[in-house]
Amino acid sequence: MGAGVLFTGADGRVLLVEPTYKSSWEVPGGAVEADESPRAAARREVLEELGLAVEVGRLLVTDWVPPREGRTDGLMLIFDGGVLSSTDRITLPADELRSWAWCTPAEAAQRLIPLLARRVAAAVRARADGASYYLEDGHVTG
């Protein structure tokens, strides 16, 4: 299971991070550890990845990801991180993250793998709608 956090700027762009260990970008977040709640994992990952101690908001998206070669199925969650008014406190762990960027929906779609791009787009819609969405493989169902 994984937990990520959607942060936006005042202009609505989303915050993405560039890992050092892969070619595609991500939302801040990561794996939920044993005996850790998804919300606690999201909070921990934001602190580890961005150096920000934030209260993580409501659940925006639950995405069931089907199994694929070498991986079992899983749940990926995105919580609301709210609007970041200042990014001068962001500090990246050099061994894990190369950079971060504010991205428009089009820029995010280019930097993220398609599955994550769908998930992030759904999270943005869920925040705007005041809803929570259930996805399967990044697609809203029902």
pLDDT at 35 over 80: yes
pLDDT tens for residues 108-123? 999 999 999 999 999 9
pLDDT tens for residues 67-98? 999 989 999 999 999 999 877 789 999 999 99
**CB contact set of 24 (below 8 Å; sequence gap of 6+):** 111, 112, 113, 116
What pLDDT does residue 141 have? Answer: 86
Average pLDDT, the chain: 95
Q: What are the extents of the domains in the chain? A: 2-140
Supply the CATH classification number for the domain 2-140.
Answer: 3.90.79.10
